[in-house]
C-alpha cells in the first residue's frame, strides 16, 4: 500500500431518491444525471483528494434507499469510518428516516464513526421550490448527535466537495494501518458470515448498552 | 439408557440429513410447479397412455391429403403419462420428460371421439380448434381408462363456456397470427398488440441476431407442433429458445415458458379491473413507484416518453394492489421495464406475478429474504466450485454481493447490455432460477484469472464492468482459426454456464436454499426486532428487556404475520389483542368465568375501551408502537397517574366528568379488573400480609416468647387455613365494589349549578332508598340520583377520592394492578392453561424476611396477648384506619356491609355464585398437590439478611 495515501471507508445512507448516488457522482466525476436508475443493493466507487499534504482515498459505499433494503445496509457500513446520512430538504419524511439512520449507526456501526448529515437538493429551494425541512431543525439534530452538517445540491455541485473534505479533516490522518483495522469491536468476518445481517449486530447488540 | 445414548450419538448425523432434506411438497404442488400451471390446477386423474400429435398444418397432414388415407401410423408415438386437471390436459413422455410435453387447454378442444383402433386398445381422437389432432391410446385396465374418459367428459362440459372466449384470446397470440396469415392466407387479420419495442425499436441489431431466420424456424415449429395453448414442447423447442427468441415472439414464448399465459387466459379482464378499481388511490407502494418511474431503463427511448412511463406505472401499481404483501420493491421497476419492451401491459403483469411467485420467491418481499437467501446460496456455490477464487475474495475482504446482488435482483438488466440480458431471460424462463446461478458462476469463472489479481472491491467491480461492456467482442481475438475467432464472449459465457455448471440443477438450488433458510430467517428476525425496538417511543416504566418481551408476545400473537418473510399485516386487531393481553395480564387470562355472559360483557367492554384508547391512528388496529406506549402508561408507578388513566378510559369526551352511564361502566370495569382477586385466584398484598401475620402468630404461639429469629422453625402441626383468607379477600373486594358504586352516586355533582336544590331532594331520596330497598341493585339504577332528568356527573377529583377512600382499591391502583401485568415474563409457547390458573398460595411470594420480621417484632415487643389480639383483627383495623375521608358508610357495621354485598348478588345472583364456586373448582382442578385447602407447614427457615429476595421455602407433603 502506498504509504502517502490514507483510505477512508465511507457509506451513504438515506431514504430512496434523496440523491445519494447523485452526490457520489458529483464528487467522483463532477457530473449529474437527472433520472438515475435506483441503486440496486449497493454501489462502490473511489475518489482521491488531497487534504493538506495528505492524499486521501475515499472508498465510497453507496446504498439502496428503499426501506426494505435496510437489512442489507449493515453489510456495507461494517467497518466504515465515515457515513453520510442524506435527506431531501423538500421531503420531511426523508428527514425522519435520516434520524433513524443516525440512531442505527450510533448503535451498530464502528465506534467513533464520523457522521455527516446532508440535506440535499437546495437547488430546488433556490429556484423557488418550497423547503420542508428547516435548516435549524437539522442543525439541532446535528448538534445533539455530534454530526457534521451540510446542505448541498448534487445538481449544481454546491457544497458537495465540502462534505467530503469536512469528513477528511475530521478523521485523524497519517496512520492508515490503525484506521482500517478492527474498529467495531473486532468482528472477524468468517466465510459463513458474509451475507450475515447479524454480523455487525450480534457483536454490537451486547455492547449497545454502553453506547449512551 | 443405552438406546438414548446411541440416539444422541447419531444426532449430528441426523441433523445433517435434515439439513439436506428438501421440504416435502405435495405431488400436486410439484406438478404445478414443473409445468407452471395455475395454483388451482390439481391433478384430477392420470393414466398411462401413448400419444401422437398430428398438426393441422404439419407435413403429415399434407401427406395424408395426397395419399387420401386415414392412417396415423406415420406420426411419432410417445409413451408417457396423461394428466387431467380442471382446465388442462397434459401429457408427459416417460423417456426423458422433455421429448414430448403437451399442454392443452380444454377450451381448445373441439371434438373428442373414439378412434378407429387397429387393436383391441381403447383410443381417443381429440381434435383441437386448429384442426390438429391428438390420438390417445390408453394403457392399462379398461375400466380405469373409462373412468379417465368420464372425468374428462365432465371437464370438457365445464369448459364449454370458456370456448366462447377463445377466439378473442387467440387474437392476442402472435403465433396464431403467424399461422393464420401465412397458412390460411387470411388478409384482414389484426396484428396482436405488442410491447414498446415494436414502436421504439428492440435492443440490439436485428441483422446480427438473424431475426428473420429465427422467426421462420419458430413458424415451422408451430406448424408442426402446435402453438400457444395447444402446443407440444420437445427438445427442438428448448433449442430454439437457447439460440435466442426473435423479438416479436418473445412475449409469447416467455409467457408460455413461465406459465403466465395460463393465468392471463384464466383471469381475462382482471388486470384492467384492478387498475380501474384502484384508480386514483394512493399507497406507500404507489408513492415509491412514482419516484422510480423515470429511473427505469432511462436510456431506452420509450421510457423518456409518457407512453412508456404510463405502461410501467400501470403494471407496477396494478401488481402492488394485487399483491400488497410485496407491494413494490426497487428493481421490480427495472424488470418490468424490460418485460414491457416485448410484452403488453397485461402480459407483463401476469409474467411479473409468476416471476415473483415461482421464479424468484421472496426476492421482492418486504424483508427481501429470497434475495438474501440466494446470495448466501450463490456464495456457497462459489466456495464449492471455485475454492481458489473464494479464498482470494475472503482474503481481501471483497464484498461480492455488491456485484452479484443486482445480477439476481434485477435479472442482469442493470449489469449487461440489454440484448444479452434478454437472451439470458429466454433461458431463465425456460429453465428457472438455476439459470441465474449458472450464469453468475460462469461470469466469475470466465474472469477468474483476472479476479485473482484484484486486491480490493474497486478492482473487482471494474473488471466485471469492463467484461459486461465487451460481451460482443471475440472471446479469442488472437486465434488463427476464423471460426474460433467469431465466438463472442457472450457465447462463451453461455457455453460455460450451461455446460460447465449444468450440475447446478433446480433441485440442488432448492436443497441449498433449504439449508440456509433457517439462519437467514433468524438473521432477519433479529434485524427486524432490533430495528423496531430502536424506533419505539421513549418509555418511562418499561425496560429494554421488557420491551423485548412485549415485542415477542406481540408478534407471537399475530400469527398471520411472518416477520422473516414480511408477509401479512403486522397490526393487531381487537380479537388478537384480547389473546395478546391474556398471555401476560392476570385479569385477562382465560378462566372459567369467561363462560358467564355478563362477565364476558364486562371483559370485552373494558378491553374495547383500552384498545380504543391505545389506537393512536384510529384505524381499529394497534401497532407495536401503540401497544408499547399504552403498556408503558398502564404500569406506571404513580398512583394518581394510574387512577387518572383508568378514569380517562371512560371519559371519552375528555371533559374530566363522567355521566351516569359512564359511572356504571367504570364500576363494571373495576369489577372485571379485580375479578382474579375477588375469586381468590390471586392474593393481594393485604391478604399476604395477613397470612404472614398468621404464620408469625403460629410460630410465636408454638415457641413462646423465648424464640430468636435464627431459630425459627415451624412445627409440623401448624396449618394455614387457606379458605379463610380467601373468603376474607373475596369479601373485601365485593365490599370495595359496592362501596364504590354507592359513593360514586353519593358524591356525584349535579350537572348544572341551578339544580343544586335538587341535590338535597335527591340525597333525601337516596336516604329513603337506602333505608328501604337498598338491597335491590335495580332500584339503585332507577335511583333518583341516576335519573336522566336530573343528570349528575362524577368528576376526576371525586373519582380519585373515592378510590383512595377504599384500601383495597387504593392498593389495587398502587400496586396490585401494576403487578398483575407481567411484562417480564418470557414468552413460553408451551405454557399451558393450568399454569395460568395458579393456585392462590403459589401467588404468595412467601417472603421469609417479612415473616421473620413479624416474628421478631412480636418477640421484641414482649409478645403479649394484646398484640396477638391486635394481629387477629389486623386486616379489619387496616381497613378502617386508612380510610381518610371517612364516611358513614365506612364506619357502618360489618353486617351492613354484608348487606351491601348481598345487594350485589341480587343484581348478578348467578354471577357471584358462579364466581365463588368457580374459584374452588379451579383450585381443585389444579394439578399441584399443594392445593389442599389445609396445608401442613413443616419447617420455616428464615434468614436475617436484608436481601428482600430471600424466600422461605415451604416444604409441602
* Contact call for residues B675 and B587 (beta carbons, < 8 A): yes
3-class state of residue B635 by DSSP: coil
| A41: closest CA of chain B, how far (Å) | 6
Q: List the one residue out of B390, B374, B517, B529 whose CA is nearest residue B439.
A: B374
A181 inside 8 A of chain B by CB: no
* Contact call for residues A98 and A118 (beta carbons, < 8 A): no
| B389: closest CA of chain A, how far (Å) | 13
Task: Check whether B903 has a pLDDT greater than 70.
Answer: no
- The CATH number given to whatever domain includes residue B420 is 1.10.472.80
Task: Check whether B950 has a pLDDT greater than 60.
Answer: no
How does the average pLDDT of chain A come out, rounded?
A: 83
Contact check, Cβ <8 Å, A71/B461: no
What's the CA gap between B372 and B385, in Å, rounded? 20
What is the structure's pLDDT at B704? 63
Q: In which residue are the cell numbers 371519559 written?
A: B651
Any domain includes B287: yes
- Given pLDDT bands bounded at 50, 70 and 90, which one contains residue B772? very low
Say what angle helices B345-354 and B270-277 make with each other, to 10 degrees: 100
Give the cell for residue B544. 429494554
Indicate which of B287, B291, B392, B454 best probes the interface with A, i.e. most A CBs within 10 Å of its own CB.
Answer: B291
Give the cell for residue B924. 381443585
Task: Check whether B932 has a pLDDT greater than 70.
Answer: no
B523 inside 8 A of chain A by CB: yes
- Is there a single domain that holds both residue B437 and residue B459? yes
Q: What angle do CA A207, A208, A210 make, to 5 degrees?
A: 75
Q: List the one residue out of A30, A146, A9, A27 whose CA is nearest residue A75.
A: A9
Section B279-302 average pLDDT: 94
* Contact call for residues B892 and B901 (beta carbons, < 8 A): no
B375 inside 8 A of chain A by CB: yes
What's the CA gap between B609 and B650, in Å, rounded? 7
- Given pLDDT bands bounded at 50, 70 and 90, which one contains residue B150? very high
Residues 6+ apart with CB under 8 A from A177: none
Any domain includes B528: no
What is the structure's pLDDT at B739? 85
Range with the largest mean pLDDT of A169-183, B53-67, B804-818:
B804-818
A169 inside 8 A of chain B by CB: no
* A41, A44, A104 ranked by CB distance to B457: nearest: A44
What is the structure's pLDDT at B919? 37
Section B441-461 average pLDDT: 95
B454 inside 8 A of chain A by CB: no
- Is there a single domain that holds both residue B373 and residue B350? no
Distance of CA B34 to the CA centre of its chain: 27
Percent of chain B residues past pLDDT 70, beyond the cut: 75
A103 inside 8 A of chain B by CB: yes
Q: Which residue has the higher pLDDT, B407 or B956?
A: B407
What's the CA gap between B893 and B826, in Å, rounded? 46
Task: Check whether B721 has a pLDDT greater than 90.
Answer: no
Q: Which residue has the higher pLDDT, A80 or B870?
A: A80
- Is there a single domain that holds both residue B187 and residue B156? no
* Contact call for residues B463 and B454 (beta carbons, < 8 A): yes
Q: Which of A67-71, B23-27, B99-103, B729-733 has the lowest mean pLDDT?
A: B23-27
Kindly identify which residue of chain B lies nearest to residue A195, measuring between CA atoms: B376
A57 inside 8 A of chain B by CB: no
A130-141 per-position pLDDT tens digit: 999 999 999 999
Indicate which of A20, A25, A40, A98 best probes the interface with B, i.e. most B CBs within 10 Å of its own CB.
Answer: A40
Say what angle helices B639-650 and B597-614 make with each other, to 10 degrees: 100
Q: Which of B160, B184, B201 is the last residue of a domain?
A: B160
Kindly identify which residue of chain A lies nearest to residue B566, measuring between CA atoms: A68
Query: What's the pTM?
Result: 0.79
- Given pLDDT bands bounded at 50, 70 and 90, which one contains residue B4? low
- Is there a single domain that holds both residue B333 and residue B207? yes
User: What secondary structure does DSSP assign to B129-175, as a single string?
Assistant: TTS-EEEEEEES-HHHHHHHHHHHHHHHHHTHHHHHTHHHHHTT-HH
Any domain includes B396: yes
What is the structure's pLDDT at A83? 97
What is the structure's pLDDT at B87? 94
Question: Measured between beta carbons, which residues in chain A are less than 8 angstroms from residue B379?
Answer: 194-195
| A123: closest CA of chain B, how far (Å) | 18
State which fold the A5-170 domain adopts: Rossmann fold (3.40.50)
Q: Catalogue the E-assigned strands of B573-691.
A: 657-658
- Is there a single domain that holds both residue B180 and residue B317? yes
Burial of B619 (0-12, 13-18, 19+ CB in 10 A): exposed
* A16, A40, A189 ranked by CB distance to B288: nearest: A16
DSSP assignment, residue B821?
Answer: B
* Contact call for residues B131 and B163 (beta carbons, < 8 A): no
Any domain includes B859: no
Task: Check whether B356 has a pLDDT greater than 90.
Answer: yes
- Given pLDDT bands bounded at 50, 70 and 90, which one contains residue B913? very low
Kindly identify which residue of chain B lies nearest to residue A1, measuring between CA atoms: B455
* A40, A71, A198 ranked by CB distance to B331: nearest: A40
What is the structure's pLDDT at B893? 37
Q: Catalogue the E-assigned strands of B299-339.
A: none
Task: Check whether B342 has a pLDDT greater than 60.
Answer: yes
What is the structure's pLDDT at B854? 66
Q: Which of B136, B160, B184 is the last residue of a domain?
A: B160
The CA-atom distances, in angstroms, between B585 and each of A207, B642, B676, B832 are 32, 16, 11, 15
Task: Check whether A159 has a pLDDT greater than 70.
Answer: yes
A100 inside 8 A of chain B by CB: yes
Q: Which of B32-36, B140-144, B351-355 has the lowest mean pLDDT?
A: B140-144
| B20: closest CA of chain A, how far (Å) | 17
Question: Measured between beta carbons, which residues in chain A are less than 8 angstroms from residue B291?
Answer: 16-17
A145 inside 8 A of chain B by CB: no
Question: Measured between beta carbons, which residues in chain A are less than 8 angstroms from residue B406?
Answer: 40-41
B517 inside 8 A of chain A by CB: no
Any domain includes B678: no
A49 inside 8 A of chain B by CB: no
Q: Which domain holds residue B439?
A: 369-517
B511-542 per-position pLDDT tens digit: 999 999 999 999 999 999 999 998 888 888 88
Q: Which of B118-132, B262-276, B856-870 has the lowest mean pLDDT?
A: B856-870
Question: Measured between beta carbons, which residues in chain B are less than 8 angstroms from residue A59?
Answer: 456-458
Q: Which residue has the higher pLDDT, B669 or B343?
A: B343
- Is there a single domain that holds both residue B383 and residue B495? yes
What's the CA gap between B387 and B496, in Å, rounded? 17
What is the structure's pLDDT at B686? 80
3-state secondary structure A144-203: HHCCEEEECCCCCCCCHHHHHHHHHHHCCCCCHHHHCCCCCCCCCCCHHHCCCCHHHHHH
Contact check, Cβ <8 Å, B372/A104: no
Q: Which residue has the higher pLDDT, B653 or B256?
A: B256
Distance of CA B79 to the CA centre of its chain: 45
- Is there a single domain that holds both residue B233 and residue B292? yes
Task: Check whether B49 has a pLDDT greater than 70.
Answer: yes
What is the structure's pLDDT at B815? 84
Give the cell for residue B282. 394512493
Kindly identify which residue of chain A lies nearest to residue B531, measuring between CA atoms: A104
Task: Check whether B757 has a pLDDT greater than 70.
Answer: no
How does the average pLDDT of chain B come out, rounded?
A: 80
What is the structure's pLDDT at B902? 38
Residues 6+ apart with CB under 8 A from B423: B244, B490, B494
Contact check, Cβ <8 Å, A66/B330: yes
What is the structure's pLDDT at A202? 36
What is the structure's pLDDT at B852? 65
Find the helix or strand (DSSP H, E) in which B615 lies.
none
Q: Which of B304-313, B623-632, B717-726 has the lowest mean pLDDT?
A: B717-726
B198-221 per-position pLDDT tens digit: 999 999 887 777 888 999 999 999
Kindly identify which residue of chain B lies nearest to residue A188, measuring between CA atoms: B397
Distance of CA B423 to the CA centre of its chain: 37
* Contact call for residues B401 and A195 (beta carbons, < 8 A): yes
- Given pLDDT bands bounded at 50, 70 and 90, which one contains residue B464? very high
Taking residue B548's Cβ as centre, other Cβ atoms within 10 Å add up to 17
- Is there a single domain that holds both residue B212 and residue B328? yes
Contact check, Cβ <8 Å, B456/A70: no
Rounded to whole angstroms, the maximal C-alpha distance in chain A is 52
Any domain includes B388: yes
Q: How many domains does chain B have?
A: 3
- The CATH number given to whatever domain includes residue B39 is 2.30.29.30
DSSP assignment, residue B497?
Answer: I
Q: Which of B258-267, B802-811, B840-849 has the lowest mean pLDDT?
A: B840-849
Strand ordering across the sheet containing B45-54: B109-114, B122-128, B133-139, B45-54, B78-84, B88-93, B101-105, B230-233
- Is there a single domain that holds both residue B345 and residue B490? no
Task: Check whether B381 has a pLDDT greater than 60.
Answer: yes
| B78: closest CA of chain A, how far (Å) | 47
- The CATH number given to whatever domain includes residue B331 is 1.10.8.270
Range with the largest mean pLDDT of A124-128, B943-947, B953-957:
A124-128
The CA-atom distances, in angstroms, between B203 and each of B55, B420, B472 are 34, 9, 14
Q: Which residue has the higher pLDDT, B161 or B251?
A: B251
Indicate which of A5, A20, A37, A62 best probes the interface with B, i.e. most B CBs within 10 Å of its own CB.
Answer: A37
A212 inside 8 A of chain B by CB: no
- Is there a single domain that holds both residue B318 and residue B378? no
Q: In which residue are the cell numbers 485523524 written?
A: A172
Task: Check whether B870 has a pLDDT greater than 60.
Answer: no
- Given pLDDT bands bounded at 50, 70 and 90, which one contains residue B16? low
What is the structure's pLDDT at B537? 86
Q: List the one residue out of B953, B935, B900 whose CA is nearest residue B734.
A: B900
What's the CA gap between A85 and A70, in Å, rounded? 13
Any domain includes B906: no
- Is there a single domain that holds both residue B175 and residue B285? yes
What are the φ and ψ backbone dihedral angles of B849, each rounded to 5 degrees? Answer: -60, -45
What's the CA gap between B555 and B186, in Å, rounded? 62
What's the CA gap between B78 and B51, in Å, rounded? 5
Contact check, Cβ <8 Å, A104/B296: no
A44 inside 8 A of chain B by CB: yes
Find the helix or strand (DSSP H, E) in which B261 lies.
helix B260-266
Contact check, Cβ <8 Å, A68/B400: no
What is the structure's pLDDT at B21? 53
What is the structure's pLDDT at B564? 87
Find the helix or strand (DSSP H, E) in which B208 lies.
none
Contact check, Cβ <8 Å, B401/A191: no
Any domain includes B304: yes
B566 inside 8 A of chain A by CB: yes
Task: Check whether B236 has a pLDDT greater than 90.
Answer: yes
Q: Which of B490, B517, B544 is the last residue of a domain?
A: B517
Question: Measured between beta carbons, which residues in chain B are less than 8 angstroms from residue A108?
Answer: 530
Q: Which residues pair with B101 in a beta bridge?
A: B92, B233
What is the structure's pLDDT at B908? 44
Q: Which of B158-162, B193-197, B749-753 has the lowest mean pLDDT?
A: B749-753
Section B622-650 average pLDDT: 89
- Is there a single domain that holds both residue B295 and residue B177? yes
Kindly identify which residue of chain A lies nearest to residue B457, measuring between CA atoms: A44
Give the cell for residue A161. 466537495
Percent of chain B residues past pLDDT 90, beyond the cut: 46
What is the structure's pLDDT at A61? 96
Question: Measured between beta carbons, which residues in chain B are less than 8 angstroms from residue A34?
Answer: 294
| A17: closest CA of chain B, how far (Å) | 7
Section B775-794 average pLDDT: 54
What's the CA gap between B29 and B36, in Å, rounded? 10
Contact check, Cβ <8 Å, B401/A194: yes
Q: Which residues pair with B926 in a beta bridge?
A: none
What is the structure's pLDDT at B104? 94
| Cβ–Cβ pairs < 8 A, chains A and B | 123
| A158: closest CA of chain B, how far (Å) | 23
Q: List the one residue out of B476, B469, B468 whose CA is nearest residue B492.
A: B476
- Given pLDDT bands bounded at 50, 70 and 90, which one contains residue B799? confident
Contact check, Cβ <8 Å, A42/B402: yes
Amino acid at each position: 500500500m502506498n504509504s502517502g495515501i490514507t483510505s477512508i471507508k465511507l457509506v451513504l445512507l438515506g431514504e430512496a431518491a434523496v440523491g445519494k448516488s447523485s452526490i457520489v457522482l458529483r464528487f467522483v466525476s463532477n457530473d449529474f444525471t437527472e433520472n438515475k436508475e435506483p441503486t440496486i443493493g449497493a454501489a462502490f466507487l473511489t475518489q482521491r483528494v488531497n487534504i493538506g499534504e495528505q492524499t486521501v482515498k475515499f472508498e465510497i459505499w453507496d446504498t439502496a434507499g428503499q426501506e426494505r433494503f435496510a437489512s442489507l445496509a449493515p453489510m456495507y457500513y461494517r467497518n466504515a469510518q465515515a457515513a453520510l446520512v442524506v435527506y431531501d430538504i423538500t421531503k420531511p419524511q426523508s428527514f425522519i428516516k435520516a434520524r433513524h439512520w443516525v440512531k442505527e449507526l450510533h448503535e451498530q456501526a464502528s465506534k467513533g464513526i464520523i457522521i455527516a448529515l446532508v440535506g440535499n437538493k437546495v437547488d430546488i429551494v433556490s429556484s423557488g421550490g418550497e423547503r420542508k425541512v428547516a435548516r435549524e431543525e437539522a442543525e439541532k439534530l446535528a448538534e445533539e448527535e455530534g454530526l457534521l452538517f451540510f446542505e448541498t445540491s448534487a445538481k449544481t455541485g454546491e457544497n458537495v466537495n465540502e462534505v467530503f473534505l469536512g469528513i477528511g479533516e475530521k478523521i485523524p490522518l497519517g496512520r492508515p494501518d490503525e484506521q482500517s483495522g478492527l474498529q467495531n469491536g473486532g468482528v472477524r468476518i468468517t466465510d459463513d458470515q458474509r451475507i450475515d445481517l447479524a454480523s455487525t449486530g450480534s457483536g454490537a447488540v451486547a455492547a449497545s448498552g454502553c453506547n449512551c | 439408557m443405552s438406546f438414548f445414548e446411541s440416539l444422541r450419538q447419531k444426532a449430528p448425523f441426523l441433523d445433517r440429513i435434515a439439513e439436506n432434506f428438501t421440504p416435502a411438497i405435495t405431488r400436486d404442488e410439484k406438478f404445478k410447479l414443473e409445468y407452471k400451471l395455475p395454483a388451482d390446477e390439481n391433478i384430477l386423474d392420470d393414466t398411462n397412455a401413448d400419444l401422437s400429435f398430428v398438426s393441422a398444418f404439419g407435413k403429415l397432414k399434407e401427406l395424408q391429403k395426397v395419399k387420401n388415407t386415414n392412417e396415423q401410423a406415420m406420426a411419432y408415438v410417445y409413451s408417457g403419462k396423461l394428466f387431467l386437471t380442471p382446465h388442462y390436459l397434459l401429457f408427459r413422455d416417460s423417456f426423458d420428460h422433455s421429448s414430448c410435453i403437451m399442454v392443452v387447454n380444454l377450451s381448445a378442444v373441439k371434438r373428442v371421439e373414439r378412434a378407429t383402433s387397429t387393436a383391441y386398445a381403447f383410443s381417443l381422437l381429440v381434435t383441437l380448434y386448429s384442426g390438429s389432432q391428438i390420438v390417445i391410446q390408453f394403457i392399462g385396465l379398461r375400466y380405469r381408462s373409462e373412468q379417465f374418459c368420464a372425468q374428462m367428459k365432465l371437464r370438457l362440459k365445464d369448459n364449454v363456456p370458456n370456448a366462447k372466449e377463445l377466439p378473442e384470446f387467440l387474437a392476442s397470440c402472435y403465433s396464431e397470427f403467424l399461422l393464420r396469415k401465412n397458412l390460411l392466407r387470411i388478409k384482414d387479420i389484426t396484428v396482436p398488440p405488442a410491447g414498446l419495442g415494436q414502436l421504439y425499436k428492440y435492443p440490439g441489431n436485428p441483422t446480427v441476431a438473424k431475426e428473420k431466420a429465427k422467426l421462420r424456424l419458430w413458424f415451422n415449429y408451430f406448424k408442426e407442433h402446435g402453438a400457444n395453448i395447444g402446443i407440444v414442447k420437445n427438445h427442438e423447442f428448448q433449442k430454439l429458445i437457447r439460440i435466442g427468441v426473435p423479438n416479436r415472439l418473445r412475449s409469447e414464448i416467455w409467457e408460455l415458458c413461465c406459465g403466465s399465459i395460463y393465468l392471463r387466459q384464466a383471469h381475462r379482464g382482471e388486470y384492467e379491473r384492478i387498475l380501474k378499481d384502484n384508480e386514483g388511490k394512493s399507497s406507500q407502494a404507489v408513492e415509491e413507484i412514482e419516484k422510480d418511474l423515470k429511473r427505469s431503463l432511462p436510456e431506452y427511448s420509450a421510457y423518456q416518453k409518457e407512453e412508456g412511463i404510463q405502461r410501467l406505472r400501470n403494471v407496477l401499481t396494478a401488481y402492488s394492489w394485487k399483491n400488497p404483501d410485496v407491494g413494490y420493491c426497487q428493481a421490480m421497476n427495472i424488470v418490468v421495464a424490460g418485460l414491457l419492451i416485448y410484452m403488453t401491459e397485461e402480459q407483463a403483469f401476469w409474467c411479473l406475478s409468476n416471476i415473483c411467485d415461482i421464479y424468484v420467491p421472496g426476492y421482492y418481499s418486504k424483508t427481501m429474504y429470497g434475495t438474501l437467501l440466494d446470495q448466501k446460496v450463490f456464495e456457497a456455490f462459489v466456495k464449492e466450485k471455485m475454492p481458489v477464487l473464494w479464498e482470494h475474495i475472503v482474503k481481501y475482504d471483497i464484498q461480492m454481493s455488491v456485484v452479484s446482488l443486482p445480477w439476481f435482483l434485477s435479472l442482469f438488466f442493470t449489469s449487461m447490455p440489454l440484448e444479452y440480458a434478454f437472451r439470458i431471460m429466454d433461458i431463465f424462463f425456460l429453465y428457472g432460477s438455476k439459470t441465474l446461478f449458472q450464469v453468475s458462476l460462469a461470469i466469475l469463472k470466465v474472469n477468474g484469472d483476472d479476479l485473482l489479481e484484484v486486491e480490493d472491491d474497486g478492482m473487482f467491480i471494474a473488471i466485471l464492468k469492463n467484461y459486461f461492456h465487451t460481451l460482443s467482442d471475440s472471446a479469442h481475438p488472437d486465434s488463427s482459426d476464423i471460426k474460433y475467432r467469431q465466438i463472442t464472449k457472450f457465447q462463451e459465457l453461455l457455453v460455460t454456464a450451461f455446460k460447465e455448471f449444468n450440475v447446478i440443477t433446480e433441485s440442488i438450488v432448492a436443497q441449498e436454499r433449504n439449508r440456509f433458510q433457517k439462519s437467514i430467517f433468524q438473521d432477519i428476525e433479529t434485524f427486524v426486532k432490533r430495528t423496531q425496538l430502536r424506533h419505539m417511543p421513549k418509555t418511562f416504566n418499561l425496560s429494554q428487556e421488557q420491551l423485548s418481551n412485549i415485542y415477542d408476545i406481540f408478534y407471537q400473537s399475530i400469527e398471520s404475520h411472518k416477520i422473516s418473510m414480511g408477509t401479512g399485516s403486522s397490526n393487531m386487531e381487537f380479537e388478537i389483542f384480547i389473546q395478546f393481553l391474556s398471555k401476560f395480564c392476570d385479569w385477562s387470562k382465560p378462566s372459567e368465568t369467561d363462560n358467564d355472559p355478563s362477565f364476558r360483557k364486562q371483559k370485552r367492554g373494558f378491553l374495547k375501551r383500552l384498545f380504543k384508547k391505545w389506537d393512536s391512528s384510529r384505524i381499529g388496529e394497534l401497532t407495536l408502537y401503540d401497544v408499547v406506549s399504552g403498556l408503558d402508561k398502564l404500569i406506571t408507578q404513580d398512583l394518581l397517574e394510574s387512577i387518572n388513566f383508568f378514569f380517562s378510559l371512560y371519559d371519552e369526551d375528555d371533559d374530566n366528568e363522567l355521566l351516569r352511564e359512564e359511572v356504571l361502566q367504570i364500576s363494571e370495569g373495576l369489577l372485571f379488573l379485580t375479578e382474579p382477586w375477588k375469586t381468590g385466584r390471586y392474593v393481594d398484598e393485604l391478604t399476604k400480609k395477613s397470612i404472614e401475620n398468621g404464620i408469625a402468630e403460629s410460630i410465636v404461639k408454638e415457641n413462646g416468647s423465648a424464640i430468636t429469629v435464627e431459630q425459627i422453625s415451624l412445627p409440623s402441626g401448624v396449618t394455614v387455613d387457606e379458605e379463610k383468607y380467601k373468603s376474607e379477600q373475596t369479601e373485601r373486594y365485593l365490599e370495595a365494589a359496592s362501596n364504590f358504586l354507592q359513593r360514586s352516586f353519593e358524591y356525584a355533582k349535579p350537572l348544572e349549578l341551578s339544580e343544586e336544590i335538587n341535590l338535597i331532594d335527591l340525597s333525601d331520596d337516596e336516604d329513603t332508598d337506602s333505608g328501604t330497598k337498598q338491597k335491590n341493585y335495580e332500584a339503585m339504577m332507577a335511583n333518583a340520583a341516576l335519573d336522566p332528568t336530573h343528570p349528575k356527573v362524577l368528576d376526576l377529583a371525586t373519582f380519585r377520592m373515592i378510590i383512595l377512600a377504599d384500601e383495597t382499591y387504593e392498593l389495587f391502583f398502587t400496586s396490585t394492578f401494576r403487578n398483575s401485568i407481567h411484562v417480564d415474563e418470557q414468552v413460553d409457547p408451551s405454557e399451558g392453561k393450568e399454569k395460568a390458573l395458579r393456585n392462590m398460595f403459589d401467588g404468595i411470594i412467601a417472603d421469609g424476611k417479612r415473616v421473620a420480621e413479624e416474628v421478631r417484632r412480636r418477640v421484641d415487643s414482649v409478645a403479649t396477648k394484646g398484640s396477638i389480639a391486635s394481629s387477629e383483627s389486623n386486616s379489619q383495623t387496616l381497613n378502617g384506619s386508612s380510610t381518610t375521608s371517612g364516611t358513614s358508610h365506612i364506619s357502618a357495621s360489618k353486617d351492613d356491609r354484608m348487606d351491601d354485598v348481598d345487594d350485589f348478588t341480587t343484581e348478578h345472583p348467578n354471577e357471584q355464585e358462579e364466581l365463588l364456586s368457580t374459584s374452588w373448582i379451579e383450585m381443585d382442578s389444579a394439578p399441584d398437590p399443594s392445593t389442599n385447602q389445609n396445608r401442613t407447614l413443616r419447617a420455616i427457615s428464615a434468614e436475617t439478611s436484608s436481601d428482600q429476595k430471600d424466600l422461605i421455602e415451604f416444604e409441602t407433603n
